[in-house]
Structure 1
Amino acid sequence: MQTFKPPILRQILIPCFQHAFEKNEGEKLIGGPPTPDQDNPENIISAFITKIIGPENPFGTSDSVRILLLQLSSLLVEQASSHIHDANNK
């Protein structure tokens, strides 16, 4: 199963997110308006943070998967930072 993860991330998920952000449909893809202070399983960024890159097992995947998850993370920070952190709440 591990061998399928890098191609799925590289060829499907990351390009889909990039396309949605380019078409200004990021909020629709993410699952609603920004709520960075609340865990919401319907919000894809909240689920990504709590389920995928959670602190329980930070090195439980291969290097290639970790690199692709970092690429996806950087895309989310670049395009949807308001969903991750409220800049007004320092």
Structure 2
Amino acid sequence: MSTISVREFSYNPSAVFARVEKGEAVQVTRHGNVIAILLPGSGASERYAPLVARGQIRLKAATVSDLARLPWLELPEDADPLGALLAEREEDPR
């Protein structure tokens, strides 16, 4: 995941969105603090975008290909993602 400042983003947002459309995740920072994470709207990262937006998970130096290797669990809207993941781990303790 690449990181750019708000100032860099404001100079050419179209170029940043073009990078995201190609599958790159981009963190936007202000004074060194992450204020936004831009994720591609389709593909593997689409699955995790709602969790990132709600602050339930944080992406570090992950790439879209890293996200594609993560497990996929179908959950109801009101389900606890962490509880489901822990239950999955108990069933398959690799």
TM-score by length of 1: 0.27
Tell which structure's C-alpha radius of gyration is larger: 2
TM-score by length of 2: 0.26
